[in-house]
Structure 1
Amino acid sequence: MLKKNKPARHLFRQVIASLVPGEGIASPAQEHKGRPQNAARTQPPGQTPQHGRADACTDTHAPEQLIVPICEPTQEDGDHGPLQDQGQFLARQDRWDDLSRRIAEADKSRHNTAHGMPVAELLAHGARSDVVNAVEHALSIGHAGDRRKMIEGVMGLETMCVEHRDDPYLRTLVALAHIDVAWIWRGYSDVMSITVANGQRCAAHFDRAAALLHPLDGVGLDSPFIAAAKSALLAGQHSGTTMQVADDFAALIDLDPDNHRHMRSLGTHMLPRWFGSYAALELEARRTAARTEDIWGAGGYAWVYFDAIALDPEACSRVDIEFFMDGLRDIVSRRPDQEMVNLLASYCAVALRYGETTPSEEIAPRTEIADAADWLIRDHLREIHPLIWAHAAQRFDNNLRIVSTRRFADHGRRDALRFIAGLFRSEIEAGQRVEFSDKGLRVSPD
């Protein structure tokens, strides 16, 4: 136990300075590389958007006739970086009370960014990013053998947690750092090593996170931030019955029904490969739709199946296609912003792309969902958000390592333009000009 006259102040920043080469005490504006995926934002006021033409696509005949505004990656995640930088800055300055207060305020108010990312999670992500990035960096350059060096940053957070033992938000922050590090160990494990050293280290971090979170009750504290952290333990521990997992997610969704990420995660966890079954997936999709009908209409059903369909062909063959399509329409009618339109359009156009090995019984529902990209783009698209399309091509894998955000976004831009050019092939071949703007789609003689 720490003595009151010897607080942990400055210990964290000293540890980070030793772990992260070239890192000092940065201002909140400093660039941070470990941002969550799927970050997107509309064009900032007063800026002229870049226009993408289909000459980036190899399968168009009149590329100069397709004009689509494109948000640059720096504009897409414009509201994420500053929030993560704030969390990072407060951690580096040992201003833990200030950090906890800001996380609590954002959590209680259900404050989300423009496209639905909880502000509390972004602040916490930034606050632990130095520790997590240092572990990943050490593993990437082959320093896994230096055990003490690998855990110094986490132990700095643990020391802080002892000093703030009664603070549930900081306790959760430390647990999330352990979960992040656990996934890093798993990600750097090959088939031979996952069952031995790396697998044991991964499990140890999940166990420590569970111990930290065990005394906390997200529902009792009215905290989606804490409830979501406890749900994040499930994938690492593989414990709990189908009903227990479903009820935990139902409680989380009830705490924050505006956040579609919780419903999507529920669907993934209800797959047979995790904690559920196809019958359980269908049941929870319908239960969620009923509980969130006032916010999403039938959208809750679509959200629960959203990632499950992309991951599991059998789930796609079993979905109630009429219910799902009603859900898509209700989602876009309630959230017509361009982040949501790009998410839904890229999901239908790219994430659900299938090949020759697709089972025949799955092709019909998958094709009908994929065809929804047509009306989503024609009726609702105003601009392209490349990062969203790039993530769709990876089936929205949140554990994906992105070396260059700009190159990653370029892939998304090309996918989006290629698909849109194909969608309007007949118009382009007829010599018409296809132009998207904030006023909608305009097809006219060139």
Structure 2
Amino acid sequence: MFRSFWAGLARINPISTHVAPVSDAGSRCLEDVGRLNIPVAELDAADLIGRDMIERGRHLARQDRWAELSAEIQAADQARTTAPDGLPIADLLAFGARSDVVLAAEHALSDGGAIAEYDLLGGISELEGVKQDHPDDPMIALIVALAHIDLAWAWRGTALDAALPPLHRSRCAAHFDRAAAILPECRKALPDSPVVAAADCALLAGQRTKRARVADQYERLISLDPRNHRHMRAMGSHLLPRWFGSYEELEVQALRNAANTRDTWGAGGYTWVQFDAIALDEQACARLDIEYFLEGLRDIVQRMPDQKTINLLASYCAITVQNGFGLDDKADLVRSQIREAAQWLIRDHLTELHPLIWAHAANGFNNSVRVNSPERFAARGQRDALRAIGDLFREELRNGTDVTFTPSGLQLTSH
């Protein structure tokens, strides 16, 4: 489910800030302190691609323009187009199409209000009716299947299994079962569709058994869309012991993915699979092949040196992986080496700041985080980024050196 609407990054405006010395702030005047100058990518309402695509899907569904919606999803799926943060446009359109139904049910269930069963089933019944009206359209069938998966999660909520009411448990299972009944027709009609393969992976959550073929399902999805790192990251998370896998399988599949995607990512396929897993799990972090992970980081930068990717990797190394520091000695050793990678990422490759990426980094790039105000969210990310970058250049700044990021590289200027 998509909850963190991406605000695009369009105009670039420079900012300049003083960074106070750490140990002798009282003994030196502000004029003696260097300045940190870095262009910041601003929010632009015209470039909110992720949000616009969700609204586009919602609009077409509300207007009953289902054939047009289906065609747009299929075109985006075939072209593998993505929003700036890597979310596939086909997924965003499909979420918009079912969002009225899903969000209403989520609100009713989270509110705890006394709502009749008919009210909770009314929206999905209407979507089922649309599917019946378009019996030969696999994309519309996919929207209905994804709606059932979302509703299964709405019924499941965040309660522990033992505390889940029987009605919630049965409704969750029923929605997962209905999605599982629909998806084979989508798969048969569109065997090479990443959005359908991704739905198959989403369905795994309703099959919480060790027999679930998680790696096989994700391997198929990745083979269809190898340039989208989000699929690899999701596979790594689902291979943790808390879901379907084990630490041994996580390592094996990360290495296997690196081999399968070497032409696209070099060693980066290993890094992407481990990316979110080691941020979520102390033991996974402690067991990481850190040398190969860092080799993968460099290969990713070589193959995708755009500033969104550099900001993603730098914020991950500087903030995301450090959030669990102090919980495990072996994991902390790995974290320290990953934090060192932020040095060369920022010094050698960063030319502009993307605040939203840094804001998401603080939340572990968790898509379930609701972002009501992209502007405030971005402001928080900007503060975090400037603090992290300021710490990196602490000695230069307190010695009176101006640190300036330019399109051609970093410039250090003494007063």
Instruction: Calculate the TM-score normalised by the size of structure 1.
Output: 0.84
Q: Distance in 1 between matches of 2:333 and 2:407?
A: 34
Structure 2 partner of 1:165:
135
Match of residue 123, structure 1, among 70, 93, 100: 93
Say if 1:289 and 1:40 are closer, same or farther in 2 by CA, change over 3 A.
farther
**1:224 matches 2:194:** yes
1:83 maps to 53
Q: Which moved more, 1:350-359 or 1:387-396?
A: 350-359
Gaps of 5+ in 1: 1-33
- Secondary structure of the 1:69 match is strand
**Partners in 2 of 1:153 and 1:71 — Cα distance?**
39
Contact 2:235 2:273 in 1 (8 A): yes
- Tell me, yes or no, if the aligned pair for 2:21 and 2:398 is still in contact at 8 Å: no
Any idea what SS the aligned residue of 1:353 has? Answer: helix
CA offsets 1:390-434 (integer angstroms, 9 cap, x no match): 221121222223343333322222211111111111111011111
Question: Percent identity between the aligned chains?
Answer: 49
Q: What is the aligned counterpart of 1:196 among 155, 166, 180?
A: 166
Tell me if structure 1 keeps the 8 A contact 2:6–2:84.
no
Q: Counterpart in 2 of 1:294?
A: 263
Distance 2:162 2:244 in 1: 26
Is 1:439 matched up with 2:408?
yes
1:388 to 333, 339, 357: 357
- Show the counterpart of 1:412: 381
Match of 2:66 in 1: 96
Distance 1:314 1:190, change over 3 A: closer
Using the alignment, how far apart are the partners of 1:76 and 1:352 within structure 2?
33
CA contact (8 A) 1:70 1:383 kept: yes
Which secondary structure state, in structure 2, belongs to the residue aligned with residue 331 of structure 1? helix
Distance 1:204 1:404, change over 3 A: farther
> For residues 240 and 175 of structure 1, do their structure 2 counterparts lie closer, same or farther at Cα, with a shift above 3 Å needed?
farther
Residue number among 166, 177, 181 corresponding to 1:211 in the alignment: 181
Whether 1:330 aligns to 2:299 is: yes
Match of 1:132 among 89, 102, 121: 102
Match of 1:108 among 32, 55, 78: 78
Q: For residues 54 and 247 of structure 1, do their structure 2 counterparts lie closer, same or farther at Cα, with a shift above 3 Å needed?
A: farther
Please tell me the residue identity of whatever aligns with 1:371.
E
Aligned residue number for residue 67 of structure 1: 37
CA RMSD of aligned residues (A): 2.7
Q: Which amino acid aligns with 1:291?
A: N
TM-aligned CA distance change 1:300 to 1:60, over 3 Å: farther
Provide TM-score, normalisation by structure 2: 0.90
Report the counterpart of residue 39 of structure 1 in structure 2. 6
**Counterpart code for 1:163:** D
CA shift for structure 1 position 58: 10
> Given that residues 111 and 118 in structure 1 are in contact (C-alpha distance below 8 angstroms), is that contact kept between their aligned partners in structure 2?
yes
CA contact (8 A) 2:73 2:90 kept: yes
Residue-by-residue CA offset, 1:72-95 (whole Å, 9 max, x unaligned): 344696222222222111111101
Residues 137-185 of structure 1: CA deviation (Å, up to 9, x unaligned): 3334443533222232222111101111221111111111222222233
User: How far apart are 1:112 and its partner, in Å?
Assistant: 2.4
Matched letter for residue 273 of structure 2: V
- Residue among 304, 309, 312 paired with 2:273: 304
> Which among 17, 30, 42 is matched to residue 53 of structure 1?
17
Q: Which amino acid aligns with 1:369?
A: I
2:284 to 315, 340, 356: 315
Could you say if the C-alpha distance between residues 59 and 395 of structure 1 is closer, same or farther in structure 2, counting changes exceeding 3 Å?
A: farther
CA separation in 2, counterparts of 1:106 and 1:412? Answer: 30
Q: Partner of 1:363 in structure 2?
A: 332
Which residue of the partner structure matches residue 245 of structure 1? 214
1:273 shift after superposition: 1.4
1:356 CA displacement? 6.2
Q: How many residues align?
A: 409
Helix, strand or coil at the partner of 2:49:
coil
Alignment of 1:171-186 (within 5 A): 171-186=141-156
Change in Cα spacing, 1:355 to 1:257, as seen in structure 2 (3 Å) is closer
Contact 1:219–1:227, Cα closer than 8 Å, also in 2: no
> Aligned letter for 2:17?
R
Deviations 1:218-274 (A, max 9, x none): 7962100100011001123314526x2111111111011011111111111111111
How far has the Cα of 1:333 moved from its partner? 1.1
Offset at 1:363? Answer: 1.9
Between Structure 1 and Structure 2, which shows a larger proportion of helix residues?
A: 2
Residue by residue over 1:106-151, the C-alpha shift from the partner in whole angstroms, topping out at 9 and shown as x without a partner, is: 1122222344321111111221122222223333444353322223
Q: Taking structure 1 as reference, are residues 134 and 422 closer, same or farther at Cα in structure 2, changes over 3 Å only?
A: same
